[in-house]
A and B are shown apart, each in its own frame.
Chain A
Amino acid sequence: MLFLNHVYLLPIVPAVGAAVMFFFGRRLRKIAIDTVCIGVIVVAFLFACVTVAEYSSFAHGTGQAFEKIVYTWLGSGDAQLASAMNGGAHQTFNADAGFLLDPLSCVWLLFVTGVGLLIHIYSTGYMAHEGGYYRFFGYMNLFMFFMLTLILANNYMMMFVGWEGVGLSSYLLIGFYFHRHSASSAANKAFIVNRIGDVGFVLGALTLFYYLGSFRFTDINALARSGRFSIGDPVLSAAALLLFVGACGKSAQLPLYVWLPDAMEGPTPVSALIHAATMVTAGVYMVARSNAIFVLAPGAMKTVAIVGALTAIFAASMALVQNDIKRVLAYSTISQLGYMFLALGVGAFAAGVFHVFTHAFFKALLFLGSGSIIQAMSGEQDMRNMGGLKDKIPTTHWTMFVGTLAIAGIFPFAGFFSKDAILWQTWTSEGGAYRILWFVGYATAMMTAFYMFRLMYLTFYSRVRMSPAIRDKVHGLSKSMTAPLVILALCSLGAGWLSWPQSLGGSARFEHFVEPVFAHEAVVLEHAGKSGQVSAGEKEAQHTDKAEYLLMILSLAAGAAGWGVAHNAYRNAGKDYAEPIAQKLPRLYGLLYNKWFVDETYDYVFTGRRKLGNVTLGALGVGEAASWFDTKIVDSAINDVGWVTRAASTLSAWFDRWIVDGLAVRGIAYLTLPFAYVARLFEWGLVQWYALIMVAGLIGFGVYYVWK
């Protein structure tokens, strides 16, 4: 239990690598960087394996959660004082630096460290000649730190650390080529759109805290499962919807998916690790973690299912016509994430999680394969300039072929099992309306097969369309790049077998492993009149009927159909090959090619980066209006007060000068003037004259008295 008890060290391991790169990376040589950064991921992977093994013996298949609280992170940690300070209120604001292990986190732990390790190894080859090599690996290690924190968190706040942290790493890695304006813009877009989701996450978590008094998953689950809350509880529904907004941001669902295609500006291993296999599944992880809340909120569940299905088909439609190889895969990722949410939304949690698991392998494989192609082609990403690469880079070819079979859902590759489980459980969901969702999913499967085989044909099989200069430079790849491809290809084949359905004579081991996490929810759904889609294994046993076989065959047919159409259209694609959609439905093609003009609309309406005529809308427009208001109204009012004060003081200065001092003081003075003139007659300073008057006076008095 040594490792299990110290599971908090697991995220720290890659953080050490990141710290070393941060402080010393600039001065290290490539071999030292490789040793440190690959070394910490190897350690993390082994750590994860041992921890999961220890956990299994700890839980004995009961799915009991293992919790390890290291310290109180938010809040004073003094429950007594804290509750007094709320005057006995039920909430003491409190979130721990705590870690939790249950089957769900075990699944994520294993594939994140495993796939992460392979992609790190691949990167040593792929990034070998890039500037800022240490920076790249520092960021990758940093990402692993945050991703492991997200997975291991025991409460929503701690999860949010990882949640925002992976967003930060994603931002740094998308903007890795920061000299390119498009790269830094894409990085900003990713972070800001994710932040919108994060507001939903935070508000959802705060709602849960307010309502249930804790951020901890175990507390929340216990309360939610206690039966005190009725199904459809409005507060829990609101919380579930808010959390789902967060998931939409992180996992690129409608309407917040727009950042993911742009995120392809980052180096290809980043796209493989962060934007395909691991980070973008965080939303699925969070919703699956919150399953106890979601099952009490059927409205939210329906929303999740509908958004998932719509995203799946919407993204797939855009993938049909893209020419940039990475963009096809980006839209494909969004589409596959949609599948996962469809699964969660119909209550098939285990199936959704299983699809995350298989998708991690084949999508990482496809991205790394596309990276190999791009590198072999000296940086070319446009499939119109590729073709005929089959024999030049054979390993990449056959591994990608495996990946394509997997994602197209061809038996017995991994995608067949997970996608089939989702479609089947959607089909069996209560109510005929879910059949529509099934159909959307089914159509998406067909489209998936088409665009993936289109990708394969345009790159590997069709005629050579590149310029001779590039054709001569096409080269094979180093072992560090091909080895991960091979391993991932094997996983893309074998991962599905972990959940070999019982209807085909398997034992659905994967489902049984994660089942305890969702077991209670199966009961809730059962009571709610649903047919208990949650525990797939259980249900498979009850419903091994012909419908399931029929749907399997239909799925296979969909894959085959997509393959066939692509085969016909692109088998011999020469320099001026024609897109079948462009020929038959040019308008639709324009719409798809321009990605339904969603980016443009957002730029007009929400960001204000595009102007409607002269009018700027969106945040920038409002910001400009606010800025105008601030200077012209608010500040102007202050200046006006100043002006009025000055006017008043000018006026009173005038009053003081002309009225108080002028009229009153000096006026009175002038009034005395006439008297003064008279008085002056007697006062003109000639002493002799005074003497004369004195004498005259004396004479006068004398005459008077004598006369009298």
Chain B
Amino acid sequence: MQSHVLSIILFTPLIGAILLLFVPKEKISTIRWMANIFAFVGFLISLPLAPMFWWQRFDPGFKFLEGTPNNWIPSIGAGYNLGIDGISFLLIMLTTLLGWISILSSWTAIEHRVKEYYVWFLVLQTGMLGVFMALDFFLFFVFWEAMLVPMYLLIGIWGGPRKLYAAIKFFLYTLLGSVLMLLGILFLYFHHHTVSNVFTFSIPELYKTAPMIPFDTAIWLFGAFFIGFAIKVPMFPFHTWLPDAHVEAPTAASVILAGVMLKMGTYGFIRFSLPFFPSVVTHPKVQGWAMGLSIVGIIYGALVSLVQKDMKKLVAYSSVSHLGFCTLGIFALNSSGLTGSVLQQINHGISTGALFLIVGILYERRHTREIAEFGGISTVMPVYSTIAMIMFLSSMGLPLLNGFVGEITILQGAFAANWRWAAWAAPGVVLAAAYLLWLYQRVFFGTVSNPANEKLQDLTPRESFMFVPLIVLALWIGIYPKPFFQILEKPVNDLVQGIRDHSGESAAAVNRAPRPSQVSVGDPRAISAGVMKAGD
């Protein structure tokens, strides 16, 4: 039996966008209400997915399947084929939640071309959901590209002073990656035909044939996908579009950009790079480079954050650092690393999304984001400052809040892969504390030195309300993350197993067995092997 749950969730925002087109653009209030209602409905409608998913969390494979392979354009083998597993489930829930919150946050921030704004925002929402749901590469690529346009317009029309530069940079940079990815997709498509005599873009079908590609070819394909996703994440050194895009984007677009769109890259790694090219990712050199770039991203992003003078730019660079943890977990190629990575992607969406909202609230009141313009804000805006403190702590990974759970799981995974990776990445958390606490001190502590800040209004009920779900989630994941671990267990499990099966010996090495290059005097692995046999 076909269920249409996913389609309903997917198209609710788009229906909203289409209906909005029929409202005259002068009726701003109607437009606002409608957009917010549709965003909220889009979130509400995704909620039943949670219990439905929960019952089958340990079942293998994709769930809520919809459509069949090749049913859309049979002649080329493209299908309207949707389905999710635990990884995409969590990201979908994050998307619907953040979509609603960011539309709510735009209530007073957007004053011109209101109708177009909301229309594009809702279109964007559908595009993002589609990326996480598509089980067909053709469909995936359509959504992947479709989501770029609204974001380009959101930055380019409603952005700051250098909006065009930022928007074009964002668009072209991402497009460059997409083109490489498209080439990779086409290669897989034709390779599948060579092997099975069937033309199809179906991702589950390609899972079966792609790992057969010999290493020497696969490494080029991996590279094409890698650059595409690395730009999106962004990994060092492909990250420079990010600060520009964030600084110029309106608050809500930043929330979505950081909260959801960056996860497309990490999602791509997990969904495509790992299962398609197991022999490549497990190659020590490839893994080493990927881990190395992640570590550089963590430390470098944090160091650059430390000296920023613009709050939003600071948060943007902190994203580079946090996403470094996410990719670190992915390329650890073991279950802890991957589980932690997905968790951290959710966490980053919650914490950094909230941080952008926090910056946006000050920006809306003062129309500046210069750190030096502020000081003593906690005296005039106590509620706001309290919420900001909680989210700062969540972002820096304080236990009992969400960030810690993700980071420690990733670090454990990285440690299991090679302790040096964990050791190099761990100082990132010191720097995170440094740049966030220093920012907090300069903005919130002290006395109100700037007269412009003396009469700032504390949060309105609407603004406070936006943070409630984020704080609840931060505490939930921090205190009782077990459901999240359970949801991720099966897909991550299967993924790791798949990598290991396909790449034979080399994959077994990823987790435990001593790799010749790694065994040295005092390597825990070498010694523990014997011990643990007895221990268990």
Q: Which residues in A have some Cβ–Cβ distance to B below 8 Å? A: 71-78, 81-82, 84-87, 89-91, 93, 157, 160-161, 164-165, 168, 171, 175, 178-179, 181, 184-185, 187-188, 191-192, 195-196, 198-199, 202-203, 206-207, 209-213, 223, 228-229, 233-235, 238, 619-620, 622-624, 626-627, 630, 634-635, 638, 642
Contact = CB atoms under 8 A, between A and B. Distances in A.
Contacts, number: 195
A464 to B, nearest CB: 35
A192 B307 contact: no
Contacts of A199: 426-427, 429-430
Interface string B318-337: 00000000000000001110
Contacts of B522: 234-235, 238
A333 to B, nearest CB: 23
A164 to B, nearest CB: 5
A64 B531 CA distance: 26
Contacts of B527: 211, 233-235
B123 to A, nearest CB: 27
Interface in B489-510: 489-490, 492-493, 496-497, 500, 508
A192 B496 contact: no
Interface in B241-271: 241
Nearest to B427: A199
B303 A619 contact: yes
B535 A198 contact: no
B511 A87 contact: yes
B25 interface: no
B412 interface: yes
Given A77-B482, A623-B306, 7 more contacts: A71-B482, A77-B485, A91-B336, A191-B433, A203-B423, A211-B531, A619-B431
Interface in B469-501: 479-482, 485-486, 488-490, 492-493, 496-497, 500
Contacts of A195: 429-430, 433-434
Given A192-B430, A198-B429, A627-B308, A206 B508 contact: no
Contact of A76 (B306, B430, B489): B489
Contact of B58 (A77, A81, A178, A223): A81
B481 A74 contact: yes
Contacts of A213: 532, 535-536
B196 interface: no
B122 interface: no
Nearest to A190: B437
Nearest to A635: B240
Given A74-B409, A87-B500, A212-B535, A191 B437 contact: yes
Contact of B303 (A91, A164, A211, A622): A622
B534 interface: yes
Q: Which of A75, A82, A171 has the largest count of B CB atoms less than 10 A from its CB?
A: A75
A178 B389 CA distance: 13
B214 interface: no
Contacts of A623: 303-307
A278 B336 CA distance: 35
A160 B398 CA distance: 10
B241 A81 contact: no
A588 B261 CA distance: 60
B493 A81 contact: yes
A82 B488 CA distance: 11
Given A179-B447, A191-B433, A89 B485 contact: no
Q: Which of B172, B422, B434 has the largest count of A CB atoms less than 10 A from its CB?
A: B434
B489 A78 contact: yes
B489 A81 contact: yes
A76 B482 contact: yes
B308 to A, nearest CB: 7
28 contacts: A71-B482, A73-B482, A74-B405, A74-B408, A76-B485, A85-B335, A85-B493, A85-B497, A87-B500, A87-B511, A89-B416, A91-B416, A157-B399, A160-B399, A161-B400, A168-B393, A181-B445, A192-B433, A198-B430, A199-B426, A207-B419, A223-B535, A233-B527, A234-B521, A626-B307, A627-B304, A634-B237, A635-B240
A91 B496 CA distance: 15
Contacts of B169: 638, 642
B130 interface: no
Given A178-B446, A213-B532, A89 B409 contact: no
A238 B445 CA distance: 40
A356 B524 CA distance: 34
A209 B430 CA distance: 22
Q: Which of B173, B488, B528, B531 has the largest count of A CB atoms less than 10 A from its CB?
A: B531
A82 B412 contact: no
Contacts of A206: 411-412, 415, 419, 422
Contacts of B423: 203
B481 A73 contact: yes
Interface residues of B, number: 79
Contacts of B336: 91, 93
A620 B512 CA distance: 39
Contact of B489 (A82, A175, A238): A82
B300 interface: yes
Interface in B308-357: 308, 334-336, 339
Contacts of A71: 480, 482
B99 to A, nearest CB: 28
A73 B408 CA distance: 12
B387 to A, nearest CB: 12
Nearest to B447: A179
Interface string B421-444: 011001101110110011001001
A403 to B, nearest CB: 34
Given A209-B412, A212-B535, A638-B169, A87 B508 contact: yes
Given A178-B378, A188-B441, A234-B522, A85 B492 contact: yes
Contact of A89 (B376, B400, B512): B512
Q: Which of B237, B416, B437, B447 has the largest count of A CB atoms less than 10 A from its CB?
A: B437
B496 A626 contact: no
Contacts of A89: 334, 416, 511-512
Name the 5 nearest CB pairs between A and B, nearest first.
Answer: A85-B493, A76-B485, A635-B240, A623-B306, A184-B445
Contacts of A93: 335-336, 339, 409, 412-413
A211 B412 CA distance: 12
Contacts of A168: 393, 398
A195 B302 CA distance: 15
A619 B335 contact: no
A73 B445 CA distance: 34
A90 to B, nearest CB: 4
Nearest to A171: B437
Given A90-B532, A178-B378, A620 B306 contact: yes
A85 B441 contact: no
A165 B306 contact: no
Interface in B509-528: 511-512, 521-522, 524, 527-528
Contacts of A91: 336, 416
Contacts of A238: 522
Contacts of B400: 161, 165
A73 B508 CA distance: 28
A202 B173 contact: no
Contacts of B306: 619-620, 623
Contact of B524 (A82, A185, A211, A622): A211
Contacts of B399: 157, 160-161, 164-165
Nearest to A209: B412
Contacts of B304: 623, 626-627, 630
Contacts of A85: 335, 489, 492-493, 496-497
B240 A228 contact: no
Q: Which of A76, A202, A234 has the largest count of B CB atoms less than 10 A from its CB?
A: A76
A210 B482 contact: no
Contacts of B496: 85-87
B342 to A, nearest CB: 13
B236 to A, nearest CB: 8
Given A71-B482, A203-B423, A212-B535, A179 B307 contact: no
